[in-house]
Amino acid sequence: MPLFSRLVSLWKKETLALMRDRHALAALFAMPAIFILVMSLALADTDAFSGKDSAAIHYTLLDLDKSRASAALEARLGNTPFSGKHPPPADTEAARRQIQAGETAFALLIPQGYGQQIVARQTPVLQLLVDPTLPHALREGFYRQVEAAHIRVSVLLALGTPEKAPAPPGAATTPMAEFEAPALAVEAVGHGDAAPPAPPSAVQQNVPAWLIFSMFFVVIPISAIFIGERQHGALQRLATQRVSFGLILAGKFLPFLLINQIQAVLMVGVGRWLVPLCGGEALILPQSAAALAALWLVSLAVSTAAVGWALFIASLAKSSEQATVLGGVGNILMGAVGGIMVPRFVMPAAMQPWTRLSPMDWALEGFHQVMLRNGGISDTLPAAAALAAFGLAALALAWLRQAARKT
Amino acid sequence: MIRLENLRYRYRPDRPWALDGVSFDIPRGSICGLLGPNGAGKTTLIALLSGLMTPQEGRMTLDKQASIAVVPQDYAFYPMLSVAENLDFFAGVQGCSRRERRARCAKALAFACLETVARRRAGELSGGLRRRLNLAIALTGAPETLLLDEPTVGVDPQSRHFLLAAVRRFAEAGGTVLYASHYMEEVEAVCSDVVIIDQGRTLVSGPLDAIRRDHARGLTLALSAPPPETLMTGWQARFPEMTAAGKALHFPRIATDGLAFLFAELAAAGVDAERVAYGAPDLEQMFMQLTRHALRD
C-alpha cells in the first residue's frame, strides 16, 4: 500500500503540473489537432500515392491455366511498371496470406481455361486480389495494365502468334474492336468475412499516419518537464527522499500514457467530425466492438512506445534544447523510414525492408489492420506486441541510463 | 551523530579525487558549518551524506540514514503546484498516510511561516518565500538531520534572519544540521562546529570556539619597509609557518616571548611596524589563511 500511495502522489503531481502548463498543453493537444486538420484538408483532393514509382509495388501471379496465353499474359505484365518479384503462391489462400501480411499489393489469378476462352472469343474472368490499404489511383493503374496486357495477348492469339508480333503481311486480321477487356473480379483482401471498405480516402490514409506521428511527439513536453525537474533539483530531492528512479518513471508513465490516449481520441475526433465540417472527408471508424477494441489496443501500444521513447530521450538529454533535437529528429527519422511521410509501397524496393525497423511502421501496420483490412485483435497483436516491447525496452534504457549517471 | 572517516570519492577513474580523505564528526544536536572555496568538495560531500552517491573509500556512520533531509541550493520544487500541494506531494511520495501527511504539512507550513501563502503557486513566490518553502519541504520527512546547501542565497536580510532562526530552532529541538555556506557571518552566527575543506581534504574541523582558540595567537604585521634578508632567514627558521608578502608578514601562531623577540629584532634593523593585529581572527580571516588567497574559478 505505501508503494501505491507513493505512486498516487506522483501521478497526482504529474497531472496537476501538466494541467497548469499551458504551453505543454498546447504542444500536447492543440498542435496535433491542428496538424491533423491541416494535413487532411491539404491532401483531400490529391492522391499522394498516385503510383509515380509503381515499380516498387509488388504483385504476384497464380497461373492455373498453364497455357501459352497465360504465359504470354504473365510476360506482358512483366513489361509494365509494376514489379512482380514475389514467388508465385501455391494457391489462392497463399495469395491471400501474402496480401494480408503486406508482402504484395496485388495477386492476379489466371483461371483454368483462360487460353481456351480467348480462342473461343469469350470474356474470361480474371480474379484480382487487392491490398485494401492501396489508394484508388494505384488500383486503377494496375487494372488498366492487366486489361491492356490481356487485349494484347488476345490480339496476338487471334493472329496466331501469341509471343511474336506482328503477324506476317496478308495474314487474316480481326478488328481490334472485337477484342474486349477481361472481366476483373476484384476482391480487397481483409480479415474475416466482412468486406473491407472501399479504397481509402486521403483522410483514411492520412489520419492514422499523422496520428502516430503526433503521438510520438509527446517526447517534447515530457522531456521538457523531466529535464526541468532535473535542472531545478526536484529529481535529486526525490532521490534523497529514497524515491527510486523506477518509481519516478512509473509515476510519469501512467499519466502520460493517459494523456497520450486522450490526444489520440482528440485527433481521431478531428478526423471524424471536424475535417468534414471544414469540407474534407470524414474518417471512417470500424463499427464492431471487436474492431474498436483492436483499434484501442493498437493505440495503447503506440502510447506505450511513444511515452517509453519520450522518457528515454528525457533521460538521455542534458537540456530541453538537446531533447528537442534528439526527440524531434528521432521522430522525423522514424516517420520517414516508417512510411509516415512516404508510404512504404511507393518507396524504392531497396528501401522497403528498412521500414520494418521503425516503430512507426509497426504502428501504421496495426492501424491499417483494423481500419483498412477489417482486422481484429489477433491481427493487431504482432504490431501491438512489438510496440509495447519497444516502449518497455526504452523505459529500461532510461532506467539504466540513470543508474549509470548515479555511479 | 555523523562520523566520516577518510572518505574518498571521484567522479571518474581518470579524474582527481573530489574528496580525498575527508574525516570529521558532527555531534547530535549541533549545527556544523561546512566551509570551503568553490570546487572544494562541499556539494560532493552533501551528495554522499544524502545518499545520492556512495563513497568509494572510507566510512560514513550516520545515526539513522532514513531521517536525513536535504535543503538544496536550487528551488527544488514544482512551480506549477501551490505551496500546500508541493508539501503534500513531497510528504506523500515518502509513503505517509493521509493523516500523517496532513499533520506533517501543517507542521512544516507553521515552521516556515507559510500558512498565509499555502494556496499560492510556488512559481509566484518571492525569493525569500521560495527559500522558506525549500526548507519546509525538507521537513515533510520529519528528519533528524538537515543538510543545508547555501540556503540563504539571494534573500533579503529579514528572510535570512528568519531562516537562520529556523535552523537554530531545529537544532534546539534535537536536530543535527550540516550548514554549507560561503557566508562566514552566518556560520559564525548559528554554528557550534565548523569544518573547512579544500581540494577534497579537511583543513580543520571541530567546535568553532576551540578552533578559534587554536588560531588566537596569530600575528599580522604591516611594516614600513621589507625586512632585511638576514632577518627573514632567521625568522623563517624560527617560525616555519610564517608567510610574507612584501611588507606584510603573518605568523599563524606566536607566543608572547616570540612577540618580544620579533619587535626587538625589528627595532634593531630600523624597521617600524605600521600596523599590528594580534589575537583571534574572525572566521573569514581564518578561512583565508587556511585556504590561501588564490582564486579557485
B-chain residues within 8 Å CB-CB of A237?
70, 72, 76-77, 90, 137
The pLDDT-based confidence of A201 (bands split at 50, 70, 90) is low
Cβ–Cβ gap B137/A237 under 8 Å: yes
Assess if residue A196 is contained within a domain. Answer: no
Integer Cα distance of A344 and A338 in angstroms: 7
Assess if residue A293 is contained within a domain. Answer: yes
A183 lies in the same domain as A232: no
- Please name the residue that has the C-alpha cell 516491447: A389
Interface check A6 vs B, CB under 8 A:
yes
Assess if residue A249 is contained within a domain. Answer: yes
Tell me the average pLDDT across A295-320. 93
Tell me the average pLDDT across B23-41. 90
A115 lies in the same domain as A244: no
Assess if residue A193 is contained within a domain. Answer: no
A178 lies in the same domain as A269: no
Integer Cα distance of B33 and A132 in angstroms: 74
Q: What is the value of ipTM here, to two decimals? A: 0.77
The pLDDT value given to residue B38:
85
Assess if residue A49 is contained within a domain. Answer: no
| A98-112, A236-250, A261-275, B123-137, range with the lowest pLDDT | A98-112
User: Given A5, A232, A407, which is nearest B74 (Cβ)?
Assistant: A232
What is the fold, at CATH topology level, of the domain defined by B2-207?
Rossmann fold (3.40.50)
CA distances from A10 to A6, A92, B93 (A): 6, 55, 7
The pLDDT-based confidence of A43 (bands split at 50, 70, 90) is low
The pLDDT value given to residue B177:
94
Tally of structural domains, chain A: 2
Cβ–Cβ gap A9/B76 under 8 Å: no
- pLDDT single digits (tens) B237-261: 888 888 888 888 888 778 888 888 8
Q: Is the pLDDT score of A130 beyond 80? A: yes
Of the candidates A188, A215, A249, which is a domain's last residue?
A188
Take residue A275 and report the three cell numbers written for it: 475535417
Please tell me the distance in Å from B122's CA to the nearest CA on chain A. 11
Single out the residue of A386, A377, A373, A391 nearest to residue A189, CA to CA: A373
- Please name the residue that has the C-alpha cell 491490398: A131
Interface check A3 vs B, CB under 8 A:
yes
B-chain residues within 8 Å CB-CB of A10?
89, 93
A299 lies in the same domain as A371: yes
The pLDDT value given to residue B229:
87
- pLDDT single digits (tens) B188-235: 899 999 999 988 888 888 998 888 777 766 788 899 888 888 889 999
A62 lies in the same domain as A167: yes
A161 lies in the same domain as A250: no
Integer Cα distance of B288 and B297 in angstroms: 15
Single out the residue of A29, A6, A8 nearest to residue A18, CA to CA: A29
Q: Is the pLDDT score of A174 beyond 80? A: no
Of the candidates A165, A188, A211, which is a domain's last residue?
A188
Interface check A181 vs B, CB under 8 A:
no
Range of the domain at A34: 2-44+201-406
A283 lies in the same domain as A393: yes
The pLDDT value given to residue A177:
46
For chain B, give every domain's residue range.
Answer: 2-207, 217-279
Cβ–Cβ gap B69/A240 under 8 Å: yes
Q: Which of A9, A231, A249 to mutate to test the interface with B (most CBs of B within 10 A)?
A: A9
Cβ–Cβ gap B70/A237 under 8 Å: yes
Take residue A389 and report the three cell numbers written for it: 516491447
Take residue B144 and report the three cell numbers written for it: 533528524
The pLDDT value given to residue A75:
85
Tell me the average pLDDT across B50-69. 83
Of the candidates A149, A166, A188, which is a domain's last residue?
A188
A91 lies in the same domain as A29: no
CATH of the domain at A180: 3.40.190
Assess if residue A195 is contained within a domain. Answer: no
A29 lies in the same domain as A58: no
Take residue B182 and report the three cell numbers written for it: 560561503
A228 lies in the same domain as A322: yes
Burial class (CB in 10 A: 0-12, 13-18, 19+), A249: buried
Please tell me the distance in Å from B192's CA to the nearest CA on chain A. 25
The pLDDT value given to residue A50:
44
The pLDDT-based confidence of A117 (bands split at 50, 70, 90) is confident
DSSP annotation of A318 = S
- pLDDT single digits (tens) B17-27: 999 989 999 98
The pLDDT value given to residue A202:
66
Tell me the average pLDDT across B88-94. 93
